[in-house]
Structure 1
Amino acid sequence: METIKKKRMISPFKILAIGFATVILTGGILLSLPVSSISGESTSLLDSIFTATSAVCVTGLVVVDTGTYWSLFGQGVILTLIEIGGLGFMAMSTIFALLVGKRISLRERLIMQEAYNTFTLQGIISHVRYMLIFTVTVQGIASLILMTQFIPLYGVGTGIYYGVFHSISAFNNAGFDLLGDFTSLTVLNENKIILITIGMLINIGGLGYLVWREIFGSIKTRKKLKNFSLHTKVVLMISAVLLITGTLAMLIFEWNNPVTMEHMTFGNKLTNSFFSATTPRTAGFNSISNSDMTAASKLVTMIYMFIGGSPGSTAGGVKTTTLGIVIFTLISVLKGRDETEVFGKRLSQPTVYRAVSVFMLGISIVIVGVMILSISEVGAAFEIILYEVLSAFGTVGLTQGLTPTLSITGRVVITIIMYLGRVGPLTVMLALAGKQEKVNIKYPEGKLLIG
């Protein structure tokens, strides 16, 4: 009876944290097997777990080249881990339960509510069904489009496989590619169809299932944008501002860069600028050399990596809504308001506290990660280390060449940061904190000087 009670007391936060860790460990063991590498030799467990973490956390940082190191079996494992990481292991277990006719318990519904950041338990199972249908549909259409480009380049069999692999990787914001030699999409940066398709997949996956469900629902009911939920309004507004601003910034900063865009046509410059503004939002692909970008472009990229995508999506980072709440709170303070106001709505204090906590925890994780890597990675420049840590935390997958040369300590640290970035720093902290209890006590008010 005591064992049963302890199981019931496990919080949703702990189940999510343990669940992701279990999937990572299983994937790491599979990737360490000789059958997973082209050479037929076993891969070190550390490198295998690093790759599995990168796949489950849909990051894309790799210590070995995906296209030339892993066998078809190994790539299949990585692709499966990406899909599980993008949808979430709770969605995969729910889908399996529905297929075998198992009833979904209230506790499992509570865990899914926490995992997908939904506001209510009502309709949570139908939401999982929608996620599956939406994912398969989008990935299927994108795969067909990419096949039209990959088949002429690599042949029918490889072209079909490349189309499916890169479609799944892009939709889940993973950033894994099969083009070889750590080149990502730089060898195809003049193919507008591939860049636009993958860029759109990244944006679609990064907006979140709840947002797309409301958008498609509004088409049927002819609901206007002003009648959308506050969540969808904030996500669409922040995402649009980031995408447009980032595209213009990349276009300006890289226009005359001889190593990246100077010799491109205007159309290719615009396409690559759009792609370069999209991928830092936790995707990990790159069409131009990251290390050869201007300092301004690198700064924009690092800021975007920290922000990431939106809640309930396949993306990582602190999320667009967190940034929005921090900005709107600042605006409200400057206006002399006591509460945070957004689009004529008032945000509750717990929502604001949670957003600020996520933001500050994110900054703290990045600072600690940079400090440790500054010691362990002898000779690496501060900018390159900061770029690597932000990429890991935002589950982005972009690098300036540091990942393959990381020390053992560096690989462990980056693995942990990828895990924290995907599961969520606040979720992990709450899981470690144990049971939360509400205290009905109010202490005397104190005063502190600020500013």
Structure 2
Amino acid sequence: MQIAASLRKKLRFRPSPPQVMLFGFVVIIMIGAQLLSRPFSYTGDQQISYLDALFTSVSAACVTGLTILNTGIHFSTFGQIVVIILVQIGGLGFMTMATLFALLFKKKISFRERLVLQESMNYGSTEGVVKMVRKVLLYALCIELSGAVLLSSYFMLEMSAGQALYFGVFHSISFFNNAGFDLFGQFPERAGSLIHYVEDPFVNIVSMLLIFFGGIGFIVISELLTYPKNRKFSLHSKVVLSVTGILTFVGAVVIFLLEFSNPLTLQPLSATGKTLGSLFQSITARSAGLSTIDPSMLREVTQFFLIILMFIGAGPGSTGGGIRVTTFAILVGAMVAMIRGKEDIVLFRYRIAKQQIHQAIMLTMISFAIICSAAMLLSITETGSFLAILFEATSAYCTVGMSSGLSSHLSTPGKVIIMLLMFVGRLGPVTLAFALNSRSKKELYRFPEGKITIG
């Protein structure tokens, strides 16, 4: 009896934190697809196929924003609410939302659940992770509420109070979670996304602030709020804020110079419009996917530059994607150290551990390989220029959501490829690998060191 009980205990499946995240996202996506494929979720008599509903559910849960259907036209109010709930769960993480309900019902958070929370939030340790979840929920609620109030009050100038309130809440959640979904397709006289507001300082500034706070990560937000009292930042926050600021400024300048004379983008705009348009594209390209300028009208060199920004992405533990700005900082630091003949990578007078350098290189190479492989497959299944295909593949994997116009014309295999890219990009290739192969054996021996010629 004891042997049988012991055997049952060993055979009992205990999912690891990465596996919990994998299964959780799959369940949420499937529930969303089921709801969106029902008649009460779409408008008109034309039924939405299950594949299109699944694509929308994946895009929303993975806070990407790539769409093959117009959210403001094809989905009913119920369907739109399902989309924005998926965005909220996907942005904050389903474990964070589950912890919210556990805290509301005063349920104790187990150590295993803390491990999953640590994994989902990219937090350093299990110590203080529940306290961090409380902060995340509070920060998200306050920022989204502030954004909703500001946007709703402004939208009341051009639509009814009820619609303005609905639009304000929907877009505040979408922008903060870097999802890129919008409802402005309801207005046939307007272009998609925020193109109508390209020269509007208020909408631009509020939207950029929401995207910025959603893209830097909750750890950085917490340190920003406590800075007046503590007067210090961690190395993580210093790197995220400095690299984000540099990329935003450099990106805006490059886009301004490349598109200044383009009659289809910046040329017709005023000086304010050119400045806002350049700055907005620089910020949104790394995470949010919204546009005040049609990406398909940009010059090819600008589109390629946006691909680079999308690949870099936002901050760790944020609602954005990409390889992350910290990974990019380590790679640049490694290059500078090698050029100078230094052995260590030093950022803000701190030496970066070798393990983190290896992780940064691994993540970059895996991400690069996935995007290139997907672009090659899409070149077979889809028609269009390779740059447009690469743009779409990068946008999907990095959960950005900017589109060169390819998404609305995808074939069935193309939709499957893009969905897989969005899912892997949101979950993370390393987390996915650990989820699929959780048993790691410790090597009992090491091979002799060898040398090869490089360069």
TM-score by length of 1: 0.96
- Map of 1:270 onto structure 2: 275
- Contact preservation (8 Å) 2:244, 2:325: yes
CA distance in 2: counterparts of 1:97 and 1:403, whole angstroms = 38
Is 2:388 the counterpart of 1:384?
A: yes
Which ranges of structure 1 fall in alignment gaps of 5 or more residues?
none
- Map of 2:442 onto structure 1: 438
- Map of 2:214 onto structure 1: 205
Deviation at 1:325, TM superposition (A): 1.1
Is 2:193 the counterpart of 1:189?
A: no
Is 2:286 the counterpart of 1:284?
A: no
CA offset digits 1:397-435 (Å, max 9, x no partner):
111111011000000000000001111111112222221
- Contact preservation (8 Å) 2:304, 2:387: no
Is 2:410 the counterpart of 1:410?
A: no
**Residues 343-382 of structure 1 correspond to what in structure 2 (within 5 A)?**
343-377=348-382, 379-382=383-386
**Residues 217-296 of structure 1 correspond to what in structure 2 (within 5 A)?**
217-221=226-230, 223=231, 227-296=232-301
CA change 1:123–1:175 in 2 (3 A) is same
- Contact preservation (8 Å) 2:313, 2:320: yes
CA change 1:277–1:6 in 2 (3 A) is farther
Matched letter for residue 138 of structure 1: I
CA distance in 1: counterparts of 2:320 and 2:331, whole angstroms = 19
- Contact preservation (8 Å) 2:281, 2:291: yes
CA distance in 1: counterparts of 2:84 and 2:93, whole angstroms = 14
CA offset digits 1:37-95 (Å, max 9, x no partner):
01255421111111001001100000100000000000000000000001000100111
- Map of 2:33 onto structure 1: 28
The equivalent position to 2:145 in structure 1, one of 140, 145, 149, is 140
Name the % identity.
Answer: 38
CA distance in 1: counterparts of 2:422 and 2:218, whole angstroms = 22
- Map of 1:124 onto structure 2: 129
Runs of 4+ in structure 1 deviating by more than 6 angstroms, as ranges, are: none
CA offset digits 1:354-403 (Å, max 9, x no partner):
111111111011011101100001x3111110110011011111111110
- Map of 2:400 onto structure 1: 396
CA change 1:101–1:143 in 2 (3 A) is same
CA change 1:328–1:440 in 2 (3 A) is farther
CA distance in 1: counterparts of 2:90 and 2:199, whole angstroms = 30
**Residues 48-87 of structure 1 correspond to what in structure 2 (within 5 A)?**
48-87=53-92
What RMSD over aligned residues (CA atoms) do the two structures have, in Å?
1.5
Which ranges of structure 2 fall in alignment gaps of 5 or more residues?
none
2:157 counterpart SS class: helix
- Contact preservation (8 Å) 2:199, 2:272: no
- Contact preservation (8 Å) 1:34, 1:41: no
- Contact preservation (8 Å) 1:57, 1:82: yes
- Contact preservation (8 Å) 1:251, 1:269: yes
The number of equivalent residue pairs is 446
- Contact preservation (8 Å) 2:204, 2:276: yes
CA offset digits 1:313-360 (Å, max 9, x no partner):
000111111111111122222222333322222222221111111111
Which deviates more, 67-76 or 119-128? 119-128
- Contact preservation (8 Å) 1:35, 1:41: no
CA distance in 2: counterparts of 1:75 and 1:313, whole angstroms = 23
